[in-house]
Amino acid sequence: MIDFNVTVLGCGSAVPTRTAKPSSQLLSYRNKQFLIDCGEGTQMQMLKYSVRHRKLDHVLISHLHGDHFFGLIGLISTFHLTGRQSTLHIYAPGKLQALLEHQLQTTATKLSFPLIFNALEDFEEHNLYEDDYLFVRSFPLKHSTPTWGFLIKEKETKRRIDKSFIKQYRPTVNEISSILDGNSFLTKDGIFLQNSTITHDPPEVRSYAYCSDTAYEPSISKVISGVNLLYHEATFDNSLQSKAHEWLHSTAAEAAMIARRSGAKKLLIGHFSSRHNNYQLLLNEAKTVFENTTICKEGETYQVV
């Protein structure tokens, strides 16, 4: 199976603590990496946990609260100082572009690599990124500033031809193409072979959803329906539900409700308030609603299966 995983670099909220750094995750798929949010100290977390990022060409910033992007200029600077030459693509709210340009100008930094900025506002109904194997799509969340979630999903593939069939009947290139398109096969002896008997089902499509800072918003369940692994913020426990609603965040139980409504296979909760030093309480509250819930742990890698 093709590797598809997420490494958590930071799982805290606006105020960092000794046990929780600001938000950041590194998603790896095939030969590509996507950095999702880049809170203060992200590159230090990469060093701490020996997380390699040589294939990191895409950075997704969910919104412009500092705990989600204050580490970006430092990472860009390090890429420059170490002689990076490959293009870096940034996907973020449009206002960030002017800030990055100002920081680079102020420090008289002429980057050694192309930096391409993509404003999230320009992708309301389009994929941010797409290749032969997967796509990345943004969707709006409900927060105190424009905020986006991200869905990274594999593309559906064609059925696979059984190797024993190829060895026995030696189909031509055109016949193979026809079979992959779903057609059946007629042998030289006039035997009709149904497509389903000479092919295998393709692997199930896998997906990962990142729901950054957001109030409880049931409508996103349709966008992330059937997701294999869902990350959803769980800033507060139930005792602080009024604070969650006031600041447009979610409780652990509300994150679990989104997982249940969307039909997710597994839920990761994070973005914990500095008020909490007992994450087990948050986990227990989520599990009462959605059993297959896990607490984010910094430095841990989670498989999308």
CA distance 35 to 89: 10
Question: What DSSP designation does 132 have?
Answer: S
CA distance 248 to 147: 11
Helices (H), the chain: 42-48, 72-81, 95-106, 163-169, 173-180, 195-198, 220-223, 241-246, 252-262, 279-287
Are the CB atoms for 31 and 86 separated by under 8 Å?
no
Instruction: Determine whether 67 is an active site residue.
Output: yes
Q: Which amino acid is at 94?
A: G
Integer Rg of the chain from CA:
22
- CA quadruple 211, 217, 220, 225: dihedral positive or negative? positive
**Pairing assessment for the beta strands 266-270 and 88-92 based on DSSP bridges:** unpaired
Q: Among the options 3, 37, 57, 67, which is catalytic?
A: 67
Q: Which two tokens stand for residue 150?
A: 């991200």
CA distance 222 to 235: 23
Helix (H, G, I), strand (E, B) or coil at 238: helix
CA distance 235 to 151: 21
Contacts of 255 (CB under 8 A, 6+ apart): 211, 232, 233, 234, 267, 269, 286
CA distance 254 to 20: 21
Q: Which two tokens stand for residue 86?
A: 């490959």
Q: Annotated active-site positions, please? A: 67
